[in-house]
C-alpha cells in the first residue's frame, strides 16, 4: 500500500470513527454499565477495527461491524478474569443456622421433622434450610449423591404422610 493510499484509508477510518463514536459508546455503556469501561471498550474496539479495516468488504455495514467488535471486546473482558476460589472449612458447610418461627404451622412441621429418623431429617434440613446441593450434602454426610437423593425423597414422603397429605 502506498503512502497516499494509507493516508486515505486512515482519513476514511478517522471519519467513520468520529461518525460512530457516540453510538458505539452508548452500546458499550449498555453492555458494561460503567462509563470508564465503555470508553475503554470503544477505544480497544476501534484499534481492533483499524487493524482489520482493509478486510471490510461492505462499507455500508460498518456500524454493525463496529458494534460486533465492541460486543466481542466486552466478552474478552470476562475471558481475562480468573475467579478467586475461597476455601471454606468443612465445619462451616455442615453447621446449621438457627432461626425460630413461632407459628402453628412451623410447630407442627418441626414436630414432624423431629419424628423423622436422623438419616432422613439431616439431608432434608441441609437442602431446604441451608440450600446445599445434593453433591454438597453427600460430601458433608459422607454419602453418595444417589444415596442423598433417595434419603431426600423418602424424607419428603414420610413428612407428607405425617402431615396427612398422603392417603
Q: Where are the alpha helices (DSSP H) in the chain?
A: 3-32, 35-52, 62-80, 90-94, 104-115, 118-128, 134-141, 145-162
User: Is residue 132 helix, strand or coil?
Assistant: coil
Cell numbers standing for residue 55: 478486510
Residue that wins the pLDDT comparison between 29 and 132: 29
Confidence category of residue 98, pLDDT binned at 50, 70, 90:
low
How distant, in Å, are the alpha carbons of 98, 105, 157 from that of 163? 23, 10, 10
Q: What pLDDT, in 10s, does the model give residues 21-76? A: 899 999 999 988 889 999 999 998 888 888 877 777 777 778 888 888 899 888 88
pLDDT(164) > 50: yes
pTM, two decimals, is 0.45
Q: Domains in the chain and their CATH numbers?
A: 3-80 (1.10.1740.10), 90-162 (1.10.10.10)
Output phi, psi for 95, to 5 deg: -85, 145
Amino acid at each position: 500500500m502506498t503512502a497516499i493510499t494509507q493516508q486515505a484509508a486512515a482519513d476514511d477510518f478517522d471519519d467513520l470513527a468520529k461518525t460512530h463514536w457516540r453510538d458505539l459508546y452508548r452500546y458499550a455503556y449498555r453492555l458494561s454499565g460503567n462509563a470508564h469501561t465503555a470508553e475503554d471498550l470503544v477505544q480497544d474496539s476501534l484499534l481492533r477495527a483499524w487493524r482489520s479495516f482493509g478486510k471490510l468488504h461492505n462499507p455500508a455495514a460498518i456500524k454493525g461491524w463496529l458494534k460486533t467488535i465492541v460486543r466481542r471486546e466486552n466478552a474478552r473482558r470476562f475471558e481475562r478474569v480468573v475467579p478467586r476460589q475461597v476455601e471454606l472449612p468443612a465445619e462451616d458447610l455442615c453447621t446449621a443456622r438457627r432461626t425460630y418461627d413461632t407459628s402453628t404451622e412451623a410447630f407442627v412441621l418441626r414436630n414432624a421433622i423431629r419424628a423423622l429418623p436422623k438419616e432422613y431429617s439431616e439431608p432434608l434440613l441441609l437442602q431446604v434450610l441451608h440450600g446445599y446441593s445434593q453433591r454438597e450434602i453427600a460430601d458433608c454426610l459422607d454419602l453418595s449423591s444417589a444415596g442423598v437423593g433417595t434419603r431426600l425423597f423418602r424424607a419428603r414422603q414420610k413428612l407428607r404422610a405425617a402431615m396427612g397429605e398422603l392417603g
